[in-house]
Structure 1
Amino acid sequence: MYNKAIFLDRDGVINQTIIKNGKPYPPSDFNEFEILPSVKQALQLLHEDHYLLIVVTNQPDVGDKKQKQETVESFHQFLLNNFPLKDIVVCFDRNSFCYKPKPGMILNSAKKHNINCKKSYMIGDRWVDIEAGKAAGCKTVFIDYKYQEALK
């Protein structure tokens, strides 16, 4: 039997983004890492409805040497310890098949956790999240913050 999942982008879906010149950026440290209101309750309800909850997040600042990988890992450990998440998958390399809008993180997670993507959702706040979800065969939910960035 296949599982159903909710794939979640991290920044802008789980935690607050840092807006600079109308564009979203990830938090740089725990002082900026703020969980969005009602996220814990929403994730608990989805978990109780038997969805696997998997965060799939691009973190190019690590690959670009603007952010320490240890900082990103500490954010993720906090999330795993405090929320009913099955997994957190991160991609640092802009050229990887796993880097959204490519569907690699979702497809690899689906294989690892025996997930049926057609019964699953991708929730994101940027076009790359939605494109990755569609490419993997998931239904998608777009959270529109009206960022000042080009849409594909």
Structure 2
Amino acid sequence: MRAPYQVLVFPYIITDNSIEYAIFERSDYEYWQGLAGGGEEGETTIESAKREAFEEAGITRDYPYIELESMSSLPVEDVVGDFLWGEDIYVLKEYSFGVKVPTKELSLSKEHLNYKWLCYEEAVTLLKWDSNKTALWELNKRLLNRINTQ
């Protein structure tokens, strides 16, 4: 059964001190976003993020994840279409993550038409949702800080 929260995941790859992020074009609405989906009952948010990344892009669960502070609230009707969990749950929390991958080759599910690897500045201009833009900004800043302090 679906749990009342969402996860958002941005795959990234670091080469020669440059960072690229994968963004995904949805097949149903044809806009760009990170990997996103709902949690399932009994999962932690990180378990949900790993499952969604595997289901939507073939990213194995053992790659290193970064849990971000970025969190959004999404209207329940915009996410699942109705009050699936009763009249008392109006918004769903969206938890954000980054995942470091070793290759740019991803295996898309039917939820996505395409994906692109882009630098932060290019990726953020294509993203539809503000929550995605904020999460990608945070991930980019965290990774740049790590690179600059090495």
Query: Fold-level match, TM-score > 0.5?
Result: no
The TM-score normalised by the length of structure 1 is 0.28
Determine which structure has the larger helix proportion and give its number. 1
The TM-score normalised by the length of structure 2 is 0.28
Determine which structure has the larger strand proportion and give its number. 2
Which structure is richer in relative contact order (CA contacts within 8 A, separation 6 or more)? 2
